Amino acid sequence: MFTHRLLNAILRILFKLLLNLEVVGLENVPLEGPLVLMINHTDLIDPAMAGGVMPREVVAMAKIESFRDPILGIIVRLYGAFPVRRGEMDLGALRQALEVLRNGEVLLMAPEGTRSKECRLQPGYDGMTFIALRANAPILPMAITGTNAFSSNLKRLRRTDVNIVIGKPFRFRPSAEKVRRDVLHQMTEEAMYQLAAILPPEYRGVYSDLDSATKRFLVFEG
């Protein structure tokens, strides 16, 4: 935890030096209890951005390939992230994710599963929904824009304009019955539309048609 806090302190200093950062919606962050932090993902620095601006400590899932990188692997380990194997049911990662939430902590997830090189939202996977349902944890959508220009700006010694918008937290409506796969996916789609709604139109991708969004399975906090 000390290492985590130290890294966040360093990140915040770097943000001030390297970014023109604007954050909107911090008042929407629940300050205690389990929480799934849902972000869009366009650049490698997005998880660090999310963790750095949050007023709570954040535990991130990271693809297992990140841990094999000689430099990035050190960073993600120091940051307290844990690995997940993409494209399969990773039971070990699932158990760790649920443990984070049972401990009342914040779990960071990018439901697209990988970075979007075009900066537009891709279809969401159901893993985040499954975990949030099992833990009965609220989801907090966080939209991050501008980070895709960070690497090129850094090479030119330019600051990067980054905007972060934090939406309203919500839970999935509880059910006494086992949730069918089609219902689970519909829940995921409703959550993704909540993320799309706080993104600029050009970032919304497959969730651009906000008029088709439903909220049948969502219960908003507060």
Give me the tens of pLDDT residue by residue for the chain, a chain 222 residues long: 667 777 778 888 988 899 999 999 999 999 999 999 999 999 888 988 898 899 998 998 877 777 777 666 666 776 677 777 766 667 888 899 999 999 999 999 999 988 888 899 999 999 999 999 999 999 999 999 999 999 999 999 999 999 999 999 999 987 767 889 999 999 999 999 999 999 999 999 999 999 999 999 999 987
pLDDT value of residue 90: 72
pLDDT in tens, 141-178: 999 999 999 999 999 999 999 999 999 999 998 776 78
Tell me which CATH code domain 2-220 carries. Answer: 3.40.1130.10
Residue 60, beta-bridge partner list: 108
pLDDT at 164: 98
Amino acid symbol at 61? M
Per-residue pLDDT, 161: 96
Task: State both tokens at 24.
Answer: 């909107």
Please give the pLDDT value at position 62.
75
pLDDT score, position 47: 87
What residues pair up with 163 in beta bridges, in sequence order? Answer: 22, 145
Q: What is the DSSP letter of 179?
A: P
Proportion of the chain above pLDDT 70, given as a percent: 91
- Under DSSP, the state recorded for 117 is T
CA distance 65 to 18: 27
**Which pLDDT value is given to residue 121?**
97
Q: Is 213 exposed, middle or buried (0-12, 13-18, 19+ CB in 10 A)?
A: middle
Task: Give CB contacts under 8 A, 24+ apart, made by 23-26.
Answer: 23/53, 23/163, 23/164, 23/166, 24/163, 24/164, 24/165, 24/166, 25/165, 25/166, 25/167, 25/198, 26/53, 26/55, 26/166
pLDDT at 139: 98
Q: What is the pLDDT of residue 72?
A: 63
Give the C-alpha separation, 93 to 102, whole Å. 14
